Structure 1
Amino acid sequence: MTADRARGALAVLQDADGKFLCEVPCGYIVEPTASAYHIRRERARAQRRRRAMLRRRVALTVALLTVAALLAALMPWSGSGAADKPKDTTAGTLEEVHQPTAVLLPSSGTVAGYVPNAAEVEALAKLIYGEAGIVPSTTEQAAVVWCVLNRVDDPRFPDTVLEVIEAPYQFSGYDPEYPVKEEFAILAADVLTRYRAERDGEENVGRVLPAEYCFFTGDGRRNHFTTEWKSTDCFGWTLESQYTD
């Protein structure tokens, strides 16, 4: 908006395009007002930039979610799945995570000079908690650990216990924030010890799940172990168990 003083006592107000707006006494015109138009124009540009940036962010988010969904569909899953994950209402609270954990070794089935890795015992105990915490069978809880160890020996999967457990899109029942219950830590250490004995050449160590079973799915109460992902041919618990269920 600009002011024209050519008419004496009255000033003509015009917009930025030169169009007549009105006449006012010259005393009221202090300085040109064309800057107001530029301010509005800059604000409009800033709004357009913000909207364009928002659209780019939304497009990027959609692209990332699409890639994640494709990866989840292509990679083999094991564990009970998010919808099937059992909820343990009798287990301790998450505050237990920050408390020191005493890992007790089993009184039988030990290997001379062998002590299970503490990090592996802790991770396996958390896995049992999430995948089989409410399963009413120690044998079936031990099978979850044997499933991990079967993967360690299988060339399709990583070569260490921790890598197998923490692999993306695999065990949905594992969470590093889960508590380490003493009974699950003892069971994990026991299975690790039997596994070590088997690798050292000992037979009949008390394996409860055959070596070819690397997958399982859950129904909210029990887990069903298979040799291939989503196979309907489930293990029938034909091996002798060393545990009292």
Structure 2
Amino acid sequence: MIDATADWADTLAVFDLETTGIDIDTCRIVTAYVGVLDRDGRVVEQRSWLADPGVEIPTAASLIHGVSTERARAEGLPAARVVAEIVAALADAAARGLPIVAYNAAYDLSVLSREAERYGVAPLPGPGPVVDPLVIDKAVDRYRRGKRTLTAAAAHYGVELVDAHDAGADAAAAGRVAQAIARRYPEVAVLAAAELHERQVDWARLQAESYQDWRRRNGEPEFVAVGAWPLR
């Protein structure tokens, strides 16, 4: 067992989006959060956004994150401004040497990348190093049964998650899950952040290949799983 002072886990930038849907090419940002956790998992910096995505928010999405089209239009900032400010906040964190933690990072970072392109915002450099507790958890505990949602991972690693699908709550929980993984798995904790990033590139690819193979062997011969990480 190691102490919580693994270098990459000492101070983390945490990031989460809530959006209009699940398709990274078409969905829009509704809420966002960028924070910083200290080595004990306490939030020491934070910034959040509510955007007017410029499109209708489907009822199914509103039921998940609680933001209606009417509220976004009345209270939200222009989407282009929100995207630019998120990119700037994450770039600042990266410039300070902080790994960016996002659960299922390939979704959030890809959505942000598409939104930046949509509004003519310079994209987030890299991005990296990125820490994705979903990819790491699947690698270090490959055969654990059950769901791999953030809620399930938080429960498994003893991390409190109140108000799931709130961008701030999810981002902080993802960072604390990453720190819990570092405490439990010394072989992960000892890696430099850049090396951990590269390991995740390989892990994500292998995980996608394995999942694709399983789906094809179970009646979906044309199924394709995309393993690109941290951007799709």
More helix by share: 2
TM-score for both structures, normalised by structure 2: 0.26
| Structure (1 or 2) with the larger CA radius of gyration | 1
Task: For CA contacts below 8 A with separation 6 or more, give which structure has more relative contact order.
Answer: 2
Higher strand share: 2
Structure 1 length normalisation: TM-score?
0.25
